[in-house]
Amino acid sequence: ETGVTQTPRHLVMGMTNKKSLKCEQHLGHNAMYWYKQSAKKPLELMFVYSLEERVENNSVPSRFSPECPNSSHLFLHLHTLQPEDSALYLCASSQGGGGFRDTDTQYFGPGTRLTVL
């Protein structure tokens, strides 16, 4: 495995529910990412955290709220989602830290398959 775990692996929720996705990395990395992968579409970067500080927010709707309490854990809080938000949500980590290097490899978790009814 890659050293990045995600829970739950599958989630079905109604549009009025509130749920959270969890990601944990065991690689000692300093940067963590949330991506969205919809069918037949490229991975879309949602958020980037470096040393627990959000450094990138790619115009993501406010119904998605990330949280990074420490460098090993990343959450994505979901509230009043729409059916078009159904997708595979992937978490990744990289060495990052004070100086990102473009050669840093990103390590992905297995993803959470989200279905919004």
Partner 1 sequence: SQKIEQNSEALNIQEGKTATLTCNYTNYSPAYLQWYRQDPGRGPVFLLLIRENEKEKRKERLKVTFDTTLKQSLFHITASQPADSATYLCALTSGGYNKLIFGAGTRLAVHP
Q: Which residues bind partner 1 (CB under 8 A)?
A: 2, 4, 31, 40-43, 45, 48, 50, 55-56, 90, 92, 94, 96, 100-111, 113
Q: Give min distance, CB of 16 to partner 1, in A.
A: 28
Question: Looking at the DSSP assignment, which residues form a beta bridge with residue 45?
Answer: 35
Pick between residue 12 and residue 55 the one whose CB is nearest to partner 1: 55
Closest CA to 47 of 83, 90, 11: 90
CA pair distance 49, 22, nearest whole angstrom:
14
Q: Give min distance, CB of 64 to partner 1, in A.
A: 18
Q: Give min distance, CB of 47 to partner 1, in A.
A: 10
Q: Give min distance, CB of 115 to partner 1, in A.
A: 14
CA distance between the termini of the chain:
31
CA pair distance 34, 11, nearest whole angstrom:
16
Classify burial at 17, counting beta carbons within 10 Å of its beta carbon; exposed 0-12, middle 13-18, buried 19 or more.
middle
Pick between residue 78 and residue 90 the one whose CB is nearest to partner 1: 90
Pick between residue 60 and residue 80 the one whose CB is nearest to partner 1: 60
Pick between residue 10 and residue 70 the one whose CB is nearest to partner 1: 10
